[in-house]
Amino acid sequence: MSAASAAVAPAPSRLRLGPLVLIAPAAILLAVFLVIPYLNILLMSFRAPGQGTPYGEGFTIANYLRFFSDGFYIRQVANTLWIGFLCTAICLVVGFPVAWQLARGSPRFRAIGYGLVLSPLLVGIVIRSYGWTILLGNNGLINRTLTNIGLIEGPLPLMYNALGIVIALVHVFLPFMILPLMAAIQGVDPSLETAARSLGASRLTAFRRVTLPLCMPGIQAGCILVFVLSLSAYVTPSLIGGLRVKTMAVTVVDALIDTFQWPWGSALALILSVTGALIVVLFARLTRMKWKVART
């Protein structure tokens, strides 16, 4: 539609066009770079494995059968989900008090705290992961210090295991938990706690029954963000997990790039995405806020 004809178009149609135009860039971006690639992956996951080529002739469900018949891969998915769950839980517990201080604390703390919270994001992901290997390795800073002061005899297993991956992921994903939590806490009127206490609730009860449920939108957003990011993290798990512990994302990349099995890698990627999505949907349903729905 040309500019001139848009100008004379009747008001109602222009009104309906407005939102469409505004969401168009995002919609196009999503369609071209998310939906189409996903469809491509879906198609690829049903292709036959190739000999010397990324994929072969014809279609098959063999890739999925291979996954479900091999406990090794199922355990790997479970492991990946466990790491995601741990990251999310730790970020929530560690992040909440920080978000609280940022939202309710003194303005001076807020400025400094904000910078500190965002600081993990200022360092590139590869450098940061190498940094963690320096700290966590058997010969790393932590183990050497502890050995030198005589607290431990042999090195603690901090790397090449789930613990190391969780430590490094929590470090970088913490801001994604803290920021939505902070916004949610800021949205809760402090006089609600006062009201709860005037009705006979202790500070703790007032927090548990009033403030915490009202922070739920932020908790939801933060948990989903951190969980999804942990499932799909690649660089950190591959550097810190090494060959010993592999998350699903690492295995997928191995299949696609190292061993060149595109259909197999696609099937693994889809299984991980669908499992993750199901968990997110379940979580969102369990934490659904009836009062939010009633607000309309």
Q: What is the contact surface with another protein in residues (CB under 8 A)?
A: 189, 191-192, 194-202, 205, 209-210, 213-214, 216, 289, 291, 294-295
Q: How far is the CB of 108 from another protein (least distance, A)?
A: 17
Nearest residue (CB) to another protein, 40 versus 202:
202
What single letter denotes the amino acid at residue 231? Answer: L
Residue carrying the six token digits 């190498």: 130
Q: How many CA atoms lie within 13 A of 278 on its CB side?
A: 7
Q: How far, in Å, CA of 272 to CA of 233, rounded?
A: 12
User: Which C-beta is closer to another protein: that of 75 or that of 292?
Assistant: 292
Rounded to the nearest 10 degrees, the angle between the axes of helix 36-45 and helix 262-286 is: 120
| Smallest gap from residue 205 Cβ to another protein (A) | 7
DSSP state of 155: P
Neighbours of 226 (CB within 10 A): 27
Length of the chain: 296
Give the nearest distance from C-beta 79 to another protein in angstroms. Answer: 36
3-class DSSP assignment, residue 123: coil
CB of 199 to another protein, least distance (A): 4
CB of 198 to another protein, least distance (A): 4
Q: Which H/E stretch holds residue 200?
A: none
* Shortest Å, Cβ 211 to another protein: 10
Whole-number minimum distance, CB 38 to another protein, in Å? Answer: 36
Rank residues 72 and 291 by Cβ distance to another protein and give the closer one.
291
Residue closer to another protein (CB basis): 124 or 187: 187
Identify which of residues 37 and 213 has a Cβ nearer to another protein in the complex: 213
Nearest to another protein of 66, 197 (CB atom): 197
| DSSP string computed for 43-89 | HHHTEEEPSSSSEEEEE-SHHHHHHHT-HHHHHHHHHHHHHHHHHHH
C-beta of 31 vs 195, nearer to another protein? 195
**What CA–CA distances, in Å, run from 162 to 83, 102, 140, 290?**
7, 30, 17, 37
